[in-house]
């Protein structure tokens, strides 16, 4: 999990402001935040995938069977 980037004070202000919204506005805000979270996860997955591909191209990865993996882990 990533480190916190928002101060507690800022987060508390956000929550307090959210409490004052109408139900409809809360639902809208929830959907916006949900979509932003989904996009952030996609970006993180994409970044990891690019790292994996780069490591594969550099020959930093191993391939084999599950048995081979267990053997490497035991060594």
Q: Is the pLDDT of residue 1 over 50?
A: no
Contact 29, 21 (CB under 8 A): yes
- Specify the number of domains making up the chain: 1
Q: Tell whether 21 is covered by a domain.
A: yes
Residue 1 is assigned to a structural domain of this protein: no
What is the pLDDT confidence band of residue 65, given thresholds at 50, 70 and 90? very high
For the whole model, what pTM was predicted? 0.64
**Is 18 inside any structural domain?**
yes
The band of 64, judged by pLDDT with boundaries at 50, 70 and 90, is confident
Strand, coil or helix: 66: helix
**Structural domain includes residue 46:** yes
In a domain, 33, yes or no: yes
Instruction: Tell me the pLDDT of the chain averaged across its residues.
Output: 91
Whole-number pLDDT of residue 4:
61
Please report whether residue 2 resides in a domain: no
Q: What range does the domain containing 58 cover?
A: 8-74
């Amino acid at each position: 999990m990533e480190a916190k980037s928002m101060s507690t004070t800022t987060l508390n202000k956000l929550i307090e402001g959210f409490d004052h919204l109408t139900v409809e506005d809360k639902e809208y805000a929830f959907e916006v935040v949900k979509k932003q979270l989904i996009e952030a996860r996609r970006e993180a997955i994409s970044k990891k995938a690019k790292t994996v591909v780069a490591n594969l191209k550099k020959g930093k990865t191993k391939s084999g069977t599950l048995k081979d993996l267990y053997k490497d882990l035991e060594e």
